[in-house]
Structure 1
Amino acid sequence: MTLWRGKEPLILASQSHARQVLLANAGINFESEPAAIDERQIQQKSNLSTPRDIAALLAREKCLFVSRRRPGRYVVGADQTLALGTRLFTKPSGRIQAAEQLRALAGRSHELYSAVAVARDGKILFEKIAIARMSMRALSEAEIGAYLGEAGAAVTSSVGAYQLEGLGVHLFERIEGDHFTILGLPMLALLEFFRSERLLGA
């Protein structure tokens, strides 16, 4: 069953499994077409430094890239950044860097900035940024090692080396923010936009 009323399926400019699940669970008919952009190069050229601005920029660039290739289609782009004070985190390159990130985050609070943008025919129609505050519990070296061993390769697929929908939930003692923001797609605002465009049947 789909609630999507667009003439053609929505396009998600991402290969994120979590974002795909969120759209599917919301009854939205979509196709996934990841944007072939160099995120780090775009970030460096922009001279932006705040996690909020960087997330917004990359969400826009992703949906614009795909939108220019798929005329007439609604395209969703999303990005998420993690900040611990002034330090900006990226996805760990491997187990060693994942352990370093967990040591830095353990016993402290950090922010997740989740940005979403919608484009059509190379123009941005909608964008939104949502924030979640995450408080990780204190972790011993043994606990970090055990978590990394159990989580396996999944630790390199998310900033901060955790996925809250999986084993990463064990790392936290307090969370402020909605589930969708944490998973990287501010769904409530996105759905409200689709309703305003008469793209949803509910």
Structure 2
Amino acid sequence: MSGQLQPLWLPKSPLVLASGSRTRAELLANAGLIAEVIKPAVNERAIEAAGTDLNPIDLACRLAKAKAKEVSDRYPGHITIGADQVLDVDGTVFHKAANLAEGANHLNLLQGRSHALHSAVAIVTDGSSEVFYDTARLTMRSLSSEAIAAYVLAAGETRVTSSVGGYQLEGLGIHLFERIEGDHSTVLGLPLLPLLAKLRAMGVLGIG
């Protein structure tokens, strides 16, 4: 860990982000918080398989906590943030597509419908934890198979398979939607407003 600090972050130990998501790290950085990014060694699908009784929100919260705890155990003395996002269509959870064909199929199932993005966050410090979530609702336009094929071709495999649902709202995915209800940072996977409120309450931010 580089130990890089900034005036906004008051603790001596750097903030740790337990996530492999560059988008989440950028959201924090844009808010003035440069986190040490540590990818958690967590088997998400195993956790999901063990929690078949969980609803999509509870699943997102359990995954976020598991990620934060795994990294916090390796880096004691730091405030660690874990996050996870679950795409929920009427109680059915979607995962990232394995390839372009599966991504196109996911988009076909989502088109003309509304779905929820549940973004959960866990803050863990040496055994103590707090978990919360925020939800955004997105309504996708009715799309023809030709329109979906054109989007998939334009977006490319990396973008289609790197995000649940096959789209990135901050990129070409914005063309797919007719309505978005919720905070932009929640859509991107890290609800900043409630997260910053929690950190202020902990007394760790220079802007109180």
The TM tier, using the shorter chain, reads: over 0.9
For residues 52-109 of structure 1, the C-alpha deviation after alignment (integer angstroms, 9 at most, x for no partner) is: 0100000000000000111101100000001111321011111111011000000111
The residue type paired with residue 66 of structure 2 is E
Alpha-carbon distance between aligned partners in 2 of 1:108 and 1:80, rounded to the nearest angstrom? 19
Please give the alpha-carbon distance, in whole angstroms, between the structure 2 residues aligned to 1:63 and 1:87: 25
Q: CA separation in 2, counterparts of 1:61 and 1:122?
A: 12
Q: How much is the aligned-residue C-alpha RMSD, in angstroms?
A: 1.1
1:111 to 116, 135, 158: 116
SS at match of 2:71: helix
Deviations 1:24-79 (A, max 9, x none): 00001211001011000011112333110100000000000000111101100000
Report the residue type matching 1:40 in the other structure: R
In structure 2, runs of 5+ residues without a counterpart are 1-5
The equivalent residue for 1:170 is 175
In structure 2, relative to structure 1, the CA distance for the partners of 1:45 and 1:32 (3 Å cut) is: same
Q: Equivalent residues in 2 for 1:136-175 (5 A)? A: 136-152=140-156, 153-175=158-180
Q: Report the 3-state secondary structure (helix = DSSP H, G, I; strand = E; otherwise coil) of the residue aligned with 1:78.
A: strand
Aligned to 1:123: 128
SS in 1 for 2:85: strand
Deviation at 1:18, TM superposition (A): 1.1
Aligned counterparts of 2:145 and 2:7: Cα–Cα separation in 1: 46
2:3 is matched with which residue? none
The answer for the alignment partner of 1:65 in structure 2 is: 70
Name the counterpart of 2:31. Answer: 26
Structure 1 window deviating more from structure 2 (50-59 vs 40-49): it is 40-49
User: 2:152 matched to 1:132?
Assistant: no
Amino acid at match of 1:82: L
Identity %: 49
TM-score (norm 2): 0.94
- TM superposition shift of 1:2: 4.5
Superposition TM-score, scaled by structure 1 size:
0.96
One-letter amino acid of the structure 1 residue matched with residue 136 of structure 2: A
Unaligned runs of 5+ in 1: none
In the TM superposition, residue 148 of structure 1 has moved relative to its aligned partner by 0.7
Contact 1:12 1:75 in 2 (8 A): yes
Deviations 1:139-172 (Å, cap 9, x if unpaired)? 1111111111111111111110011111111100
Which contiguous aligned blocks of 4+ residues in structure 1 show a shift greater than 3 angstroms? Answer: none
